[in-house]
Amino acid sequence: MIRLTTPRGRLVGALLGIAAVTAAAAAANIARARASGLMVDLESAAGQARNGAHMLSTVVERGEPEREVVRLREELAQLDADLRQPALVTAELTSACRATGVRVVGIRPMPRPAVQGQNSSDTADESPLYLLQVLAEYPRLASLMDEFTRRRLPVRVVGYAIDPVEDDSQGTHVLRAEITVEAYRAVRTARQEASP
């Protein structure tokens, strides 16, 4: 046995004391690191719980979202039915032309070009095409094409041809345009998503 009164004993005692303090400090650092990790995990879980509670309260405050979905589907179904009626689409196109100051020469429904390998049931669900023949200056034609997307029965431009008017003796820069539009059919997409 080593006595603490000897120089060697004092040295061993001092080393044991240093080792005990070092071990205690290391244990404290490990405990602090674990506690810090647990706090981060706890804060993350609390944040997720807050987000979940916020989302839940938003849904609960809105009431029954099913009613809104049903209303939107009914609205889209009515829009789809209206877009299948050429007279309504023609009236909407004429109204868009008047709103932008474009003179209508003619509007007519167009058959879709046949695609090889496509059967008649595929074309029955296609959006109808219309050909507009109009006269206007270029800025008004651009406004008209933009106006098409803002109407109750929206259409999109799928093709156009613009030529100068042959007899422009007054120098008005009037252009003759043939614009092909497609009736926008959002219901077709919704039906495809809903079908299994």
Round the CA-based radius of gyration of the chain to a whole number and report it.
38
Q: What is the tens place of the pLDDT at every residue in 78-96?
A: 888 888 888 888 999 999 9
Q: How far apart are CA 102 and CA 144, in angstroms?
A: 7
Which helix (H) or strand (E) segment is 158 a member of? Answer: strand 155-164
pTM of the predicted structure, to 2 decimals: 0.55
Q: How far apart are CA 124 and CA 137, in angstroms?
A: 36
Domain 86-194 in CATH: superfamily? Ribosomal protein S6/Translation elongation factor EF1B (3.30.70.60)
Spatial CB neighbours of 21, under 8 Å, sequence gap ≥ 6: none
pLDDT category at 189 given cuts 50, 70, 90 is very low
DSSP state of 111: P
pLDDT category at 161 given cuts 50, 70, 90 is very high
Q: How far apart are CA 155 and CA 172, in angstroms?
A: 29
Domain residue ranges in the chain: 1-63, 86-194
Percent of the chain at pLDDT exceeding 90:
20
Helix (H, G, I), strand (E, B) or coil at 11: helix
Using an 8 Å Cβ cutoff, are 111 and 73 in contact? Answer: no
DSSP state of 192: H
DSSP state of 26: H
Which residues partner with 104 through β-bridges? Answer: 134
Percent of the chain at pLDDT exceeding 70:
78
